Amino acid sequence: MSSEQDHLQETDTEERFAFKNEHKAALTSEKGLNEETIRLISEDKDEPEWMLERRLRALRLFQEMPMPTDWPGQPDLSEIDIDEIVPYIRPDVEAREGTDDWENLPDEIKDTFDKLGIPEAEKKALSGVGAQYESEVVYQNMQEQWEEKGVVFMNMDRAVQEHPEIVKEHFMTSCVPPSDNKFAALHGAVWSGGSFVYVPEGVTVEMPVQAYFRMNSEGMGQFEHTLIVAEEGAEVHYIEGCSAPKYSAFNLHSGGVEVFVGEDAHVQYSTVQNWSRNTYNLNTKRAIVEENGTMEWISGSMGSKATMLYPCTILKGRGATDTHITIAFAGEGQDIDTGAKVYHNAPDTSSTIESKSISKDGGRTNYRGLVHIADGAENASTAVECDALMFDNESTSDTMPYMEIEESKVDVAHEATVGKIGDEDIFYLQSRGLDDDDAKKMIVAGFIEPITEELPIEYAVELNRLIELEMEGSLG
């Protein structure tokens, strides 16, 4: 591919994420968080009383909890002022529950997701697609062949109305209760939109389903909730993408993800998050895995002013397995604090954590992880590998692994490497005809290959392009 073609592709990728559109909202809440706002959101969604009660309980917990400040080396959250955040913006679309016809969307919203490649991705590689704009899912579509097998893929607001039994049983109860942390409580109070995925027993969804979450407005918060239930022997791959344009005021993203993996079921959750550098990204993601079930987390975190994200898996049943593959990129003024948590609560469980991080221009990355092996979890095994790559002497990378081992009959391994891009590596590649920039891109591409090879080809290419743009300082 020529350098001119490379430049055109990079320019196209940059424009896809940096643009912002003007769109008139149908309803915008006041800034801040109080009971009146919670009731407004719930009433606007015509929710059942039990959901309003859960929101109000979460609000009380949020108001009681202090801001988290006691973790060593955690990102600075002092700029976050909930009183300045707009928690709910309903876009002005005709179908409140979302539409399955792309042409029904307003032109400015279609333009947003056209630039992000959502319709094209749907045609090529996906079983279903959901698109959220501000606080609401505006488009949702599922291929008929999976609907006929009982697979459900819809927005969470609609699921509350149409599948209340499943939602009531699983929504922020045993997996991510609002008492988990202050931002989980915030999420429970003001959540809006997100995805509901239900896969019946024995059904394998052979193509991924995707949801894309876009914050377009300045100074807003996005609080989508994703609930995935895979029954016994079921299999599904869910892909999540996120982005926001850059503004002068900060935005807050505090989503929630709950995954229930049944006996012998398999769920892969892949996410590529490219937030602007004025966004605080504070998510809570957790899975519960039954006997012989498998959970896989594949995640790329870049953009954002600060990120605190530690996908967690509870290996509840004998023989359950868990895999985490993560990549984090931090440039100037960014603090990307990511990792993984795994609880081995049953015998013969296994987990693998592979973390890659890149920092440049004074950015900071940190791996923060926890592996807990409970008493009685005999023959459990875990392997943790953390690799950090730094571009310069101003950048930093830290590793904070915690191991809590309460059982003696286990297999535990941990290794970590931290290093700069070596001059000898650059020199070798330059001697083969590459310039300095291309040499660094090739080294980084090889470094992140473990995650890109786990993604569908379209997303692997996208992730590589985003990393290249971050290396050049073109995003955010």
Per-residue pLDDT reduced to its tens digit, 255-310: 999 999 999 999 999 887 777 778 899 999 999 999 999 999 988 877 788 999 99
SS3 sequence, 91-128? ECCCCCCCECCHHHCCHHHHHHHHHCCHHHHHHHHCCE
Cβ atoms of 272 and 237 closer than 8 Å: no
Q: What is the DSSP letter of 84?
A: G
List of residues 6+ apart from 238 with CB closer than 8 A: 195, 197, 208, 209, 210, 211, 226, 228, 267, 268, 269, 270
Give the Å distances, CA to CA, from 316 to 260, 291, 295, 344, 415.
Answer: 11, 7, 12, 7, 26
Containing 315, the helix (H) or strand (E) segment is strand 312-315
Q: How confident is the model at residue 457 (pLDDT cuts 50, 70, 90)?
A: low
For residues 322 and 79, which has the higher predicted lDDT (pLDDT)? 322
Cβ atoms of 388 and 418 closer than 8 Å: yes
> Which pLDDT score, from 0 to 100, does residue 203 have?
96
Token couple for 303: 């953009």
* pLDDT tens profile 1-20: 444 444 444 444 444 444 44
For residues 396 and 446, which has the higher predicted lDDT (pLDDT)? 396
From CA 265, how far away is CA 294, in angstroms rounded?
6
> Which pLDDT score, from 0 to 100, does residue 277 have?
77
Q: How confident is the model at residue 73 (pLDDT cuts 50, 70, 90)?
A: confident
> Which pLDDT score, from 0 to 100, does residue 221 have?
74
Cβ atoms of 42 and 48 closer than 8 Å: no
Please, what is the average pLDDT of the chain?
Answer: 79
> Which pLDDT score, from 0 to 100, does residue 278 have?
80
Q: How confident is the model at residue 465 (pLDDT cuts 50, 70, 90)?
A: low
* pLDDT tens profile 417-437: 766 665 666 666 667 677 766
> Which pLDDT score, from 0 to 100, does residue 431 have?
73
Using a pLDDT cut of 90, give the percent of the chain over it: 41
Model's pTM, two decimal places? 0.82
Q: How confident is the model at residue 154 (pLDDT cuts 50, 70, 90)?
A: confident
* pLDDT tens profile 397-422: 888 999 999 999 999 998 877 666 65
SS3 sequence, the chain? CCHHHHHHHHHHHHHHHHCCCCCCEEEECCCCCCHHHHHHHHHHCCCCHHHHHHHHHHHHHHHHCCCCCCCCCCCCCCCCCHHHCECCEEECCCCCCCECCHHHCCHHHHHHHHHCCHHHHHHHHCCEEEEEECCEEEEEEECHHHHCCCCEEEEHHHHHHHCHHHHHHHCCCCCCCHHHCHHHHHHHHHCCCCEEEEECCCCECCCCEEEEEECCCCCEEECCEEEEEECCCCEEEEEEEEECCCCCCCEEECCEEEEEECCCCEEEEEEEEEECCCEEEECEEEEEECCCCEEEEEEEEEECCEEEECCEEEECCCCCEEEEEEEEEECCCCEEEEEEEEEECCCCCEEEEEEEEEECCCCEEEEEEEEEECCCCCCEEEEEEEEEEECCCCCEEEEEEEEEECCCCEEEEEEEEEEECCHHHHHHHHCCCCCHHHHHHHHHHHHCHHHHCCCCHHHHHHHHHHHHHHHHCCCC
> Which pLDDT score, from 0 to 100, does residue 463 have?
62
List of residues 6+ apart from 444 with CB closer than 8 A: 358, 389, 467, 468, 471
Question: What backbone phi and psi angles, to 5 degrees, belong to 133?
Answer: -125, 115
Asked whether the predicted pLDDT for residue 476 surpasses 50, the reply is no
Mean pLDDT throughout 129-156?
A: 65
List of residues 6+ apart from 474 with CB closer than 8 A: 10, 14
> Which pLDDT score, from 0 to 100, does residue 310 have?
95
* Nearest by Cα to 412 from 380, 378, 367, 370: 380
> Which pLDDT score, from 0 to 100, does residue 382 have?
97
* pLDDT tens profile 199-231: 999 999 887 777 776 655 555 677 889 999 999
> Which pLDDT score, from 0 to 100, does residue 23 have?
44
Beta bridge partners of 116: none
Judged by average pLDDT, the poorest of 27-31, 136-140, 240-244, 463-467 is 136-140
Mean pLDDT throughout 448-454?
A: 69
> Which pLDDT score, from 0 to 100, does residue 153 have?
87
* pLDDT tens profile 346-387: 999 999 999 988 888 899 999 999 999 999 999 999 999 998
